[in-house]
Homo-oligomer: A and B are copies of this chain.
Amino acid sequence: MKDDGEEHGESARRGPTSADKVLAVLSLFSAERPVWSPEGAARRLRVSLATGYRYFNTLVAAGMLEKLHRNRYVLGPAIVELDRKVRAADPVLKLAQPVMERLLRRLREPAAILLCRYYRQKVMCIHQETNRSGEPVSSYERGTLQPMFRGATSKVILAHLPPRIIVNLWRDHRREIAATGMGPSFEDFKAALRALRREPVNVATSEVDEGRTGIAAPIFDANGRVNGSLSIVLLSPPAGTRAVARLAIAVQAAAREIERSRGVTSDKGSKK
């Protein structure tokens, strides 16, 4: 499977490589099931018990897994270390963070600012800033995924995705798309996207967290492709149309600011 839902799986003459299966162990771990044993993983991956132990040992050696107890392994500290490197290397994050802080400081009401991006037919949160430390304003924190068709943050990205990906999304999520009202046919879907594209921001309520309202603007890269989105999430419904309009202008301005400062550290730089 490629980075989006390409390749229906036609000419795959060779099976998954050994390293593929070792890496597949990592994706067994989830919030619901954060602890695995070599035995359980071996059964799940259809390999022998001995191989299960071998996989776990190489992952432990790499720090990607950690032995908690006898038969209990969890995701390891190497992941924490790697994520630090991801943060340090992410140019968009580096540019966006101060902008997000400034935007948040202008808001009086309880709110969160989100920076998100496309990833494998979903949208992932890259960073969240909030002005409420106690109760979380949004559950949509770094590393969390949301479906492509729910929430302002997702939809504003969806609207600007390149046609190739749109086709794949339609192919793989027809049912879900229809359920969210973007029409039963591909033409309806494209029309819905065109409509979304006409608005500079997207506003949606209770699509990610109950009672929360998201106001999202797209962020484009130097080539005019969507890079992600910037959103304001409000704890309580906004006072009125004027309040929403004010916030919509603010997110847009912030998104433009991120785009503007982009040029400096852009990837189009030195080629060799």
Question: Residues of A at under 8 Å CB distance from B?
Answer: 1-3, 17-20, 22-24, 26-27, 29-31, 34-35, 54-55, 58-64, 66, 68-69, 72, 74-89, 101, 117, 119-120, 124, 126, 133-134, 141-145, 267
Contact = CB atoms under 8 A, between A and B. Distances in A.
Contact of A85 (B2, B30, B81, B89): B30
A3 B60 contact: yes
B18 A81 contact: no
Contacts of A60: 3
Main DSSP-derived SS at the A contact region: mixed
B133 A89 contact: no
The winner among A1, A81, A133 for most chain B CB atoms within 10 A is A81
B86 A80 contact: yes
A84 B23 contact: no
A143 B58 contact: no
Given A80-B86, A81-B124, A84-B142, 6 more contacts: A2-B61, A29-B89, A34-B85, A72-B267, A74-B86, A80-B126
Contacts of A17: 18, 54, 58
A10 to B, nearest CB: 16
B141 A84 contact: yes
Given A19-B18, A23-B62, A34 B143 contact: no
